[in-house]
Chain A
Amino acid sequence: METAVPKTGTEGKLWGGGNKPLEVSYGKMMMWFFILSDALTFSGFLAAYGFSRFKFIDSWPIADEVFNHFPFLHGVDAPMYYVALMTFILIFSSVTMVLAVDAGHQMKQKKVIIYMFWTIIGGLVFVGSQAWEWKNFIKGEYGAVETKGGQILQFVDTEGHRVGLDEIANPQADVRRQHLEQNGVWYQAEDELPTYTIDEIRSGFAERNDVLIRTQTLTEDGKKTVLSREESLQRLQEDAIGIVEGANLIHNEYGTPLFANFFFFITGFHGFHVFSGVIINIIIFINVILGTYERRKNYEMVEKVGLYWHFVDLVWVFVFTFFYLV
C-alpha cells in the first residue's frame, strides 16, 4: 500500500530507521530500568550501613545474638535458622513466579493461576515472618543499661550467659509513679516509665556477685568484652543513667542505635517492596483469572510483575548476607 512516507532507499539497512536495538517491549524495558534505579536505592542504604559498620567496626552488635528466635522454640538459641527459612520461602516464591511466567509463555491459563497463587501466599508468609522478627527485636529479650555516653552495658553470669534485668533488679518501694491526668490540674503527658529504675538495678547488682557487665567493645576474636567485678561495679555506679528494654529508633538494648535504625529502615523498605509486590501480583492474578491475557494472546504482564518479584528476592539475598551473615 502507498504511504505518505517516501521511500529513501535505506530500508532494511542498519541506519535506515525502524530498528529495535533492544528487541524488547516498552513496558519490559522500563521495568528493567526501574529495577536498576531501585537497586541503586537499596545499594545506597546497604552502603550507608557498611559505612556505619566500618565506623564502629569494633563495637557493632553480633547479629547471631540479636536474631536468635524461632517460632514455638521459646528460649532456645537458634541463630539465623528463622531468617534462613524466610530466605527459602522467598526463593521458593520466586520459583513459582518463574514457573507462572513459563506457563504464560505456553498460554496455559490454569497453570499460571496456580503458580501465581502460590507466589502470593509465599509473599504473604514472608511479610508475616518479617513482622514477627520486628516484634522480637522491638520487644527485646534481656534488657540492658545505657550510660551517659550512649553506650550499652549488658549483664552476663560468670559463664558468659546473658542475665535479664528482671533477674537483677531489687524492687524498691518508693519509685516514681507515672504522671496521670487524674492526679493533678497541671498535667504534662510523659512517656511510659521504664520497668525498673537504675537504682533498683544498682542495688540488685551489688548483691549479685555472680553477675558481670559486658560492654559493646569487641575483643580480638570477635566476642564482647566482659569486665571484672570491680570494673563492673564502678561502671554501673559512675556511668549508667537508665535502662533500655528492646529497641527503637533512639535506644537499642543490643548495641548502637544505628544498628536498629538500619535494621528498621532496610528491612522495612524491603518489606514494603514485598508488600507492594504482593498487591501488584494480586491485581495481575485477578486479571489472569478473568482471562484478560488469554484475550490479549500474551502473558507479558505476568512477565513484568515477575521481574519485579524476582528483584525483591534479589535484594533480600543481599540484605540477608549483609545483615545476618557478614
Chain B
Amino acid sequence: MAHDTAHHESNTGKIWKVFFLLSVITIVEVILGIIKPAFLIETTLVSMKLLNWIFIILTIWKAYYITWAFMHMDGETKGLRRSVVWTGIFLVCYLIFILLTEGDYVYEVFKAGYKSWDF
C-alpha cells in the first residue's frame, strides 16, 4: 500500500499510551469484580445490575481502543470502517436482543411452574 510505506513516523508513544489505558481499565474491572460494591449490585438499570452495565461499557471501551488504535481502524477509509463496524454492531445487537428476550421468557415459563426442571 502506497500510503502505508509513505509515512515513516513512529507511533510508539501512542501505542504505549493505549496499552496503559487498556491496563487501567482491566485493573478497574478486576477490582470492581473482587470487591463488588454493594450499591452497584443493589441498583438495577433496565433489569440488569449497575455493576454489570459498568463491566459491559468498560469492555466496549476497551474494544474501541483495540480496534481503533491497534488495528488502525482510524486510518482506514470511512467506507471500510462502516462496512465492518456497523454491520457487526447491528447484527450483534439484533442477536442479543432476540436471544436474551427468549431466554427471559423461558425463565418465566419455568418459574410459573408450567414445566419443572427440579424434581
On A, residues with C-beta under 8 Å from B are: 21-25, 28-29, 32-33, 35-36, 39-40, 43-44, 47-48, 50-58, 64, 79-81, 84, 87-88, 91-92, 94-95, 97-99, 101-102, 105-107, 148-151, 221-222, 297-298, 300, 303, 306-307, 310-311, 313-314, 317-318, 320-321, 324-326
Contact = CB atoms under 8 A, between A and B. Distances in A.
29 contacts: A23-B76, A23-B77, A32-B80, A40-B88, A40-B92, A44-B95, A47-B100, A50-B96, A57-B104, A57-B107, A58-B107, A79-B34, A81-B30, A87-B26, A91-B22, A95-B19, A97-B70, A99-B15, A102-B10, A150-B117, A300-B4, A307-B71, A313-B66, A314-B63, A318-B63, A321-B56, A321-B59, A325-B29, A326-B52
Contacts of B16: 95
Given A87-B26, A149-B119, A311-B71, A35 B5 contact: no
A106 B30 CA distance: 37
A39 B4 contact: no
Contacts of B71: 306-307, 310-311, 314
B79 to A, nearest CB: 5
A54 B5 contact: no
Given A24-B80, A47-B96, A317 B12 contact: no
Contacts of B8: 105-106
Interface of B: 1, 3-5, 7-8, 10-12, 15-16, 19, 22-23, 26-27, 29-30, 33-34, 41, 52, 55-56, 58-59, 62-63, 66-67, 69-72, 76-77, 79-80, 84, 87-88, 91-92, 95-96, 99-100, 102-104, 106-107, 110, 116-119
A56 B103 CA distance: 8
Given A55-B107, A298-B5, A300-B1, A314 B66 contact: yes
A324 B88 contact: no
A81 B34 CA distance: 9
A216 to B, nearest CB: 8
Contacts of B30: 80-81, 84
A80 B32 CA distance: 11
A318 B66 CA distance: 12
B23 A88 contact: yes
A310 B99 contact: no
B1 A105 contact: no
A107 B27 CA distance: 35
A54 B103 CA distance: 5
Contacts of A310: 66-67, 70-71
A94 B62 CA distance: 13
Contacts of A51: 99-100, 102-103
Contact of B76 (A24, A52, A320, A324): A24
A319 to B, nearest CB: 10
Contacts of A88: 23, 26
Contacts of A79: 33-34
Closest A-B pairs by Cβ, 8 of them: A54-B103, A51-B103, A51-B99, A149-B119, A321-B59, A84-B30, A22-B80, A43-B92
A43 B55 contact: no
Contacts of B91: 40, 43
Contacts of B88: 36, 39-40, 43
